[in-house]
Amino acid sequence: MSAASELSLGGRYLMGPGPSDVHPRVLKAMATPLVGHMDPKFIEIMDGVKEMLRGLFRTKNDLTFAVSATGSAGMETCFVNLLEPGDEAVVCVNGVFGNRMCDNVERCGAKLVRVDAAWGEPIEPAQVKEALGKCKPKLVAIVHAETSTGVLQPLEEISGMVHDAGALFLVDTVTSLGGTDVRVDEWGIDAVYSGTQKCLSCPPGLSPVSFSGRAVKVMEQRKTKVQSWYLDLSMVRKYWEGNKRVYHHTAPVSMIYALYEALRLIFEEGLDERFGRHRRNHELLREGLEEMGFEFLVRPEYRLPMLNAVKIPAGVEDAAVRQQLLERYNIEIGAGLGEFAGKVWRIGLMGCSCTENHVNMLLAALRQIMK
């Protein structure tokens, strides 16, 4: 077998649903020499990551850290630690990622109660209230930012209903964290997960999570073992918490370096300024696309600023245009998923990919292609 060729990839402007462009400082951090995953200096970096994640999630939760795997593992961490066979769980579904939550519930051996809304629409609180009146769930799960449709889901009213019913509130913030406000404590979120590759502008590979005291108590009162050894927080938390850390797995040291630096960049910019930047560039993109005849899938009051779902105009070939954007202009945008395949483009403005330059490059390229 001959030697494989050297890696040689041209630069891309990542404007799809993730990953996003990564700041040079984050890439530089990944080149920092390795230390052992139990090294005291590395433990200090882990503690710094935890503290900055608490600030980003706006929480005081002790159990806040980064799972050593992508956002999908963060999702599974929440479900396998909180659900046991025979439990009931309500899952709100208005896109691909709500359906993934449903699959997790069933794999835990729990009873699934679905609350469905049309794709492109938010879940209405009245729907949740009706479901809660018919069951006694251990938890209610919902997606804050549905990546498949571009819907931003209001949470506060639903959270109140969930707690009144005595259930835990579990939220997916994979696309929203770092691009729009996420207030874990204020909104009464008991378990939350995200991913590093979207608005945090860090490579994929880690999943920030946070658990309230109520959620931790539920985990500590389990009657059965967590079905996943790797994601069992009764063991993992001992590696991330306390004065004496207990080895659980070999952490992805370079990825922790990367997340540490990505979080430093976020707080250097400031949360309010960062969220404002995402909103401003969303509006700039919206104006340009609407001038070209595009229509947005989601009503204005529920649109995500960082993930823009737009309907593909009649006569425009989905794959052909995306291929030209990639080959001629090095710009990546996302195709539609599920029932929106071939009907919608998903345009990401996430983290370092959320700049006026990105927006103007994309608009100019689309104008040339669509002539």
* Interval 353-370: pLDDT, tens: 999 999 999 999 999 998
Q: Is there a domain that residue 353 lies in?
A: yes
Q: Are residues 239 and 360 located together in one domain of the fold?
A: no
Q: Is there a domain that residue 247 lies in?
A: yes
pLDDT, averaged across the chain? 97
Q: Are residues 355 and 286 located together in one domain of the fold?
A: yes
- Tokens encoding 65: 């850290």
The pairing of strands 295-296 and 63-67 is unpaired
Q: Is the peptide bond before 19 cis (omega within 30 degrees of 0)?
A: yes
Q: For residue 207, which of 101, 57, 68, 45 has the smallest C-alpha distance?
A: 68
Q: At 316, which amino acid appears?
A: V
Q: For residue 107, which of 91, 84, 135, 74 has the smallest C-alpha distance?
A: 84
**What is the per-residue DSSP string for 16-32?**
SSS-----HHHHHHHTS
Domain end, chosen from 233, 267, 301, is at: 267
Report long-range pairs for 240-243 (Cβ below 8 Å, ≥24 apart): 240/46, 240/50, 240/65, 241/62, 241/63, 241/65
Q: Is there a domain that residue 1 lies in?
A: no
Angle in degrees, CA 45, 47, 51, rounded to 5: 115
Phi, psi of 114 (to 5 degrees): -90, 145
The pLDDT of residue 7? 86
Residues 87-126 pLDDT 10s: 999 999 999 999 999 999 999 999 999 999 999 999 999 9
Q: Are residues 174 and 279 located together in one domain of the fold?
A: no
Q: For residue 267, which of 50, 52, 19, 25 has the smallest C-alpha distance?
A: 52
Residue 31 has, within 13 A of its CA and on its CB side, a CA count of 5
pLDDT at 10 > cutoff 80: no
Q: What average pLDDT does the segment 197-218 reach?
A: 98
Instruction: Write the CATH number for 354.
Output: 3.90.1150.10
Residues 329-358 pLDDT 10s: 999 999 999 989 999 999 999 999 999 999
Q: Are residues 263 and 324 located together in one domain of the fold?
A: no
Q: Which domain holds residue 305?
A: 13-18+270-369
Burial code (b: 16+ CB inside 10 Å, e: under 16) for 233-252 equals: beebbebbbeeebeebeebb
Instruction: Write the CATH number for 85.
Output: 3.40.640.10
Phi, psi of 40 (to 5 degrees): -55, -35
Task: Kindly tell me the number of DSSP H helices and DSSP E strands found in the chain.
Answer: 12, 15
Hey, how many other C-beta atoms are within 10 angstroms of the C-beta on 303? Answer: 18
Q: For residue 153, which of 279, 304, 276, 275 has the smallest C-alpha distance?
A: 304
Q: At 210, which amino acid appears?
A: S
pLDDT at 168 > cutoff 90: yes
Phi, psi of 227 (to 5 degrees): -70, -20
Q: Are residues 349 and 225 located together in one domain of the fold?
A: no
The residue with tokens 């109140």 is 160
Note whether 132 and 105 are within 8 A (CB).
Answer: no
For 48, the 3-state DSSP assignment is: helix
Q: pLDDT tier at 206 (50, 70, 90 boundaries)?
A: very high
Residues 254-309 pLDDT 10s: 999 999 999 999 999 999 999 999 999 999 999 999 999 999 999 999 999 999 99
Residues 25-36 pLDDT 10s: 999 999 999 999
